[in-house]
Structure 1
């Protein structure tokens, strides 16, 4: 069986037509969805890029594999075996290696492993193609010519194939073509965030990638945007449209690239028997918790990702599943589909019954975290999300949030003080989940523990400089008060093995 996995950076689920979006971002994905199972409630366990792919390609969440952020120590992957020895612990064998052990040829087109120095990502890939320079982006215009050439020359040689294709276009900074902007720009804007919300965020919120601080990293340029597709700030709906048009056009660029690969498969007479998976490493916060077009808070816009599964002869009728799943559950599903035994210590669980339109309840809840700009973790049920802020970074975040997902899908109103029974129920479920990982004979150290006291993804001094530049002494004082709560007051010995 041939499998192609399209790995999209930063694509929000609700910005695709197949999920109800009214802008023309995804005609090719929309068409594929007609013969696929589309998952409404697929979540990454950890965001952003590095933690998300660590979970997917280990079939375990960050609390198990160790990767929950982009900085040390939360970026350290826990090797599933004896380092320096020629063996894995079989109960932890990574998904791509499992495929190799069952005679699959595995190929990736991505520079992810170089960008994040993630050596473990290559474990199990037979071929690793770096389509751009190590520090560049995997734009579709660079990736697709190489992938199409590979398909034309090689795909007929491999009946059993896993091909991973990574696109970066929807990640900032945006560089869409005028053609792609024209494809989306005339469609109406979503209602949220409205003018009042944007103005409130602009006036009263601060922090990296807030409405006023989109160009926070451009202090040497007066905080002005060097990118025509991106405004200096978002102070009104007009500037919001400028940014949104570029984001949506970038998604449309990725969608067109997917269509080109599908055409190449058809030309190679390989489409009709190829499984196609489309998902994203994470989405973006667009107004949630005051953040704009960034993936630095634990909200649904960041963690509830698209998942489209197309299996010829299995998903032909085209359905939507409401079952709650983790993205990494796909790896257990794939092994189930291929009749390959799943390693014992994977957390991934098969959702193959959902693909066959059989009864499938999914998970009763998921736990997801975020590890850049802030350090947060949440428990999410179909109805509520309870979020803990382990460290706010440089943003004025609450210590805890409770959101009513059904009535407040944009997570705008914190109801933590009005629903004590819901909070208690979710806290109990979370504690049971945490104890399952961190207590008992197979206990692990929660990587949030050593990460929290040293967390500083965005340099505090740069935030101070920005607030001084704006003359916002009130917000500078607020920042100092908040940081004092999270600053370690006394030296502490590192947890054994966690900071070595």
Structure 2
């Protein structure tokens, strides 16, 4: 009889690494996940290959570094992705999400036997939202991808205006995304019909993405200050319109920083509660111990570090360092306690690891490493450095194709365990940080003249220069495709 292999990938949008006890946070924000970490493998230096959703998921599903290894959205139809490979092996696949950048129009449905785009369902009731949705599907049916590209600016503007109306009206606050309860319930419903066979299930939670709309009962569990409806309305209105490189509102003060972080923590607490229900269901069906469970993020979230809120155009560690928790099948019978690794690993390693968990050979196009080799001490090549990258234009927020008169630029970081160099092509600006002595990346050492620093600078600069020159040479004759998202936001 063929062995049954089950794997669940949980991705949480905007999930910072520092919200769990294993990373030093003792506020009990995610108690269910804290318990899961006790019986899991923890990678303390998991680095996202970008700071926005589209390029980050390109790394997760394609095992390629965005920008460096290709333009990252939509997913290329002619290349193998993680779900396609798994489906091709006859394993049941299901994807559940509520992110507008991970839908059918960007080809994220391909490879899933069942694909639930809850963003579409969640925003289908109003006439205006239905019109936007219909435009997408009309163009998709006709395969007019270029028209989709050029109309995206208009469509995103409509959607953004809808969100603003939602948060500035006197009606009850409502998130533009399906909530954690909806995502988890859909997963449990699907599992109830498919748990007896091999499967790959992907869940993506959007609750920790701005604007923050946690249920009131979860705010009380983690909030450091009381949050009145008036304050919540201000936070929703201001937070959803915040842009980088702009001054904070005149009436902004330190209290709102604390309140904003409380709302963010409450969203994570709400996700955690629903993941607890999912865990209970798996235990009830007696498959929890046999399941591979991966919990991670696409990227982190800035909570006022470097004068940012959200995940704007930057590559600092509040956006790039993410949790990575791997609960292996029958973990307790194999290991005495939690295992923690400090080695540098990255998002492109996720897909090869999942293939190994499902007993599928690594695909030749994947660039990442199978992390089970590190756990088994079996021929794992520790990385000397990791790249993260994105494309941007700070003055052209809404777009997703590089037009002749509007240039887009590479932002790229190269890091070791100790050093990190960030280069912004648009500003021709470098930042160098000593991550061990300055983990908050507050002191730029690039212009400090010391022999050892100069050596590090030149080493990292040469690595970055090589990648940018290679990328630019490959894209001279074609447009740089940007993501189907607001360049500075999602």
Shorter-chain TM-score range: 0.7 to 0.9
Q: Is the 8 A contact 2:292 2:357 kept in 1?
A: no
Q: Is the 8 A contact 1:184 1:248 kept in 2?
A: yes
Q: Secondary structure at the match of 2:293?
A: strand
Q: Is the 8 A contact 1:44 1:304 kept in 2?
A: yes
Given candidates 24, 28, 44, the residue that maps to 1:24 is: 28
Q: Secondary structure at the match of 1:62?
A: coil
Rounded Cα–Cα distance in structure 2 between residues aligned with 1:56 and 1:105: 19
Any gaps of 5 or more consecutive residues in structure 1? 69-74, 82-91, 188-211, 224-230, 393-397, 460-500
Alignment of 1:363-378 (within 5 A): 363-371=383-391, 374=394, 376-378=411-413
Q: Is the 8 A contact 2:51 2:311 kept in 1?
A: no
Cα displacement (A) at 1:451: 6.6
Rounded Cα–Cα distance in structure 2 between residues aligned with 1:252 and 1:78: 35
Given candidates 86, 106, 109, the residue that maps to 1:99 is: 86
Partner of 1:401: 431
Q: Does 1:66 find its partner at 2:70?
A: yes
Cα displacement (A) at 1:216: 3.5
Partner of 2:254: 237
Given candidates 339, 353, 359, the residue that maps to 2:373 is: 353
Q: Does 1:333 find its partner at 2:353?
A: yes
Partner of 1:216: 241
Rounded Cα–Cα distance in structure 1 between residues aligned with 2:277 and 2:256: 32
Rounded Cα–Cα distance in structure 2 between residues aligned with 1:10 and 1:139: 14
Cα displacement (A) at 1:425: 1.4
Q: Is the 8 A contact 1:58 1:94 kept in 2?
A: yes
Partner of 2:304: 287
Alignment of 1:294-333 (within 5 A): 294-314=311-331, 316=335, 317-333=337-353
Alignment of 1:456-495 (within 5 A): 457=487
Partner of 1:143: 183
Given candidates 168, 172, 175, the residue that maps to 2:206 is: 168
Given candidates 126, 130, 142, the residue that maps to 2:113 is: 126
Cα displacement (A) at 1:123: 1.6
Q: Is the 8 A contact 2:58 2:66 kept in 1?
A: yes
Rounded Cα–Cα distance in structure 1 between residues aligned with 2:55 and 2:181: 26
Rounded Cα–Cα distance in structure 1 between residues aligned with 2:327 and 2:477: 35
Partner of 2:275: 258
Pick closer, same or farther for the CA change 1:46–1:217 going to 2, 3 Å. closer
Task: Report the RMSD for the aligned CA atoms in angstroms.
Answer: 3.2
Larger RCO (CA within 8 A; separation ≥ 6) = 2
Q: Does 1:6 find its partner at 2:36?
A: no
Q: Secondary structure at the match of 2:325?
A: strand
Pick closer, same or farther for the CA change 1:42–1:364 going to 2, 3 Å. same
Q: Secondary structure at the match of 1:412?
A: coil
Give the number of equivalent residue pairs.
394
Rounded Cα–Cα distance in structure 2 between residues aligned with 1:448 and 1:299: 30
Q: Does 1:426 find its partner at 2:448?
A: no
Q: Secondary structure at the match of 1:171?
A: coil
Q: Secondary structure at the match of 2:295?
A: strand
TM-score, structure 1 as length reference = 0.71
Q: Is the 8 A contact 1:213 1:233 kept in 2?
A: no
* Residues 223-257 of structure 1 deviation map (CA, whole Å, 9 limit, x = unaligned): 9xxxxxxx967843311111010011111111111
Rounded Cα–Cα distance in structure 1 between residues aligned with 2:438 and 2:83: 39
* Residues 128-173 of structure 1 deviation map (CA, whole Å, 9 limit, x = unaligned): 02335354413112212222222223322x2x10000111000000
Rounded Cα–Cα distance in structure 2 between residues aligned with 1:65 and 1:45: 11
Pick closer, same or farther for the CA change 1:37–1:391 going to 2, 3 Å. same
Partner of 1:387: 422
Q: Does 1:51 find its partner at 2:55?
A: yes
Any gaps of 5 or more consecutive residues in structure 2? 124-175, 226-236, 395-409
Rounded Cα–Cα distance in structure 2 between residues aligned with 1:447 and 1:112: 32
Rounded Cα–Cα distance in structure 2 between residues aligned with 1:93 and 1:298: 28
Moved over 6 A (4+): 231-234, 446-449
